[in-house]
Amino acid sequence: MKEYYLGLDLGGTKILTGLADKNGKILARSRKDTEAKYGEEKIIANMVESIEDVLAKTELKAEDIKCLGIGSPGPLDAKKGIIIENSNLPWKNVAIVDRIEKEVGIKTLLKNDANAAALGEKWFGAGRKVKNLVYITISTGVGGGAIINQELFTGVNDNACEIGHTVIDPDGPLCGCGNHGCLEAFASGTAIGRMAQEATAEGKSKKMLDLADNIIEDVDAVICAQAAYQGDQIAKDIFAIAGFYLGIGLANLINIFNTEMIILGGGVMKASDLFLDKALELMRENALAGPLEIVEIREAELGSDIGLMGAIAVAMEDRLIKNG
């Protein structure tokens, strides 16, 4: 039997699928719209088509594929292969692993996207040389995944490392999870956008209002970043607030995980020069000397491939650990 692996990154708008050899080298890719609005069956049909597409491109058959890894936003039950819920997809409790295995005849594994990304960066990205790392994605939300002694730390029911939902200021703003002052409520793209809208609504930033064509509802993290790059002090201050709390979050992770490396990824990191210095300053102030002195902070290396390479790493994890 040949040894190939598939990875599928299930997003709210697109499905990215890749076929890799046993070294993780991508031989073929497919990109398909998720078409979430047409519902569960259509999404699954698109996933299957996407898989068949990469197989056809490489003239490989299902029996040549050792494993398919799926990365998906959660919450999900990785052990049972069930996506419990997904704010971007119109479904609940979908036994996606069973369905895909039946449709394509390939052994399938499921992980949440942040955990998959942590595996991707561990095996193919910035974390290749370390055995312990914490990956943080700073995106719409803030998520995380930890690798301990080469292996993904999943927790008892695949809910470990929800660092976006650790409270770092009980008087802080309301988070999507219902708490006040989670890391995600300060340092996510959503949080930055919320602070930017609030400041604009209060008349504090003409620049952001201009950039949003006077539509306050259109002010978001991207506009806030644009304004900051154009010198708008209010926009800069908002990123500094995000950096302040991110730095405390980093220190807390360092004091809890005592890890070798923290890798920062996610879309908001494209504007890292607006907040990372502040974050590192706070991190150094708040972390204990012992764990601080051995940790390295790195930016993710996989860029827009992180979801796909993460899904491939999910498929390959056993092999990678054995050979790693």
Work out whether 297 is an interface residue with a second copy (CB under 8 A): no
Q: Decide if residue 160 touches a second copy (CB under 8 A).
A: yes
Among 44, 64, 80, 154, binds a second copy (CB under 8 A): 154
Query: Sign of the CA dihedral 249, 254, 255, 257?
Result: positive
**132 sits near a second copy (criterion: CB under 8 A):** yes
Q: Which 91-120 residues touch a second copy, going by CB under 8 A?
A: none
How far apart, in whole angstroms, are the C-alpha atoms of residue 79 and residue 102? 17
Name the helix (H) or strand (E) containing 94: strand 92-94
Q: Is 316 helix (H, G, I), strand (E, B) or coil?
A: helix
Q: Locate 40 and state its tokens.
A: 């569960």
Question: Is 58 a residue that touches a second copy (CB under 8 A)?
Answer: no
The total of other beta-carbon atoms located within 10 Å of residue 142's CB is 30
Nearest-approach distance from CB 316 to a second copy, in angstroms: 21
Does residue 158 interact with a second copy by CB under 8 A? yes
Q: Does 140 sit near a second copy (CB under 8 A)?
A: no
> 91 by DSSP, 3-state: which?
coil
C-beta of 268: minimal distance to a second copy in Å? 20
Q: Which is nearer to a second copy, 168 or 209 (CB)?
A: 168
Query: Helix, strand or coil for residue 280?
Result: helix
- Residue 168 touches a second copy, criterion: CB under 8 A: yes
Selected from 166, 188, 197, 200, the binder of a second copy by CB under 8 A is: 166
Applying CB under 8 A, which of residues 179, 210, 267, 319 lies at the interface with a second copy?
179
Computed from CA positions of residues 230, 231, 237, 240, in that sequence, does the dihedral angle turn out positive or negative? positive
Note whether 174 binds a second copy by CB under 8 A.
no
Q: Which stretch binds a second copy (CB under 8 A): 11-19, 55-63, 170-178, 263-271?
A: 170-178
238 part of the interface to a second copy, by CB under 8 A: no
Closer residue to a second copy, CB minimum distance, 105 or 155: 155
- Name the H helices within 258-305: 276-286, 289-292
Q: What are phi and psi of 71, to 5 degrees?
A: -105, 130
Using rule CB under 8 A, residue 150 touches a second copy:
no
Query: What DSSP element (H or E) covers 252?
Result: helix 233-257
Q: At its nearest, how many Å lie between a second copy and the CB of residue 126? A: 17
Minimum distance of a second copy from residue 212's CB (angstroms)? 31
What residue has token string 């602070």?
195
In the list 165, 194, 207, 278, the residue contacting a second copy (rule: CB under 8 A) is 165
d(CA 258, CA 181): 24
Put the strands of the sheet holding 14-20 in their side by side order: 26-33, 14-20, 4-10, 65-72, 108-112
The answer to whether 138 and 306 are in contact (CB under 8 A) is: no
Q: Which of 26, 70, 24 is nearest to 47 (CA)?
A: 70
Query: Using the rule CB under 8 A, is 237 a contact of a second copy?
Result: no
Does residue 171 touch a second copy according to CB under 8 A?
yes
Decide: is 191 part of the binding site for a second copy (CB under 8 A): no
- Which residues contact a second copy (rule: CB under 8 A)? 75, 84, 132, 148, 153-163, 165-171, 177, 179, 244-245, 248, 251-252, 255-260, 285-286, 288, 290-291, 294
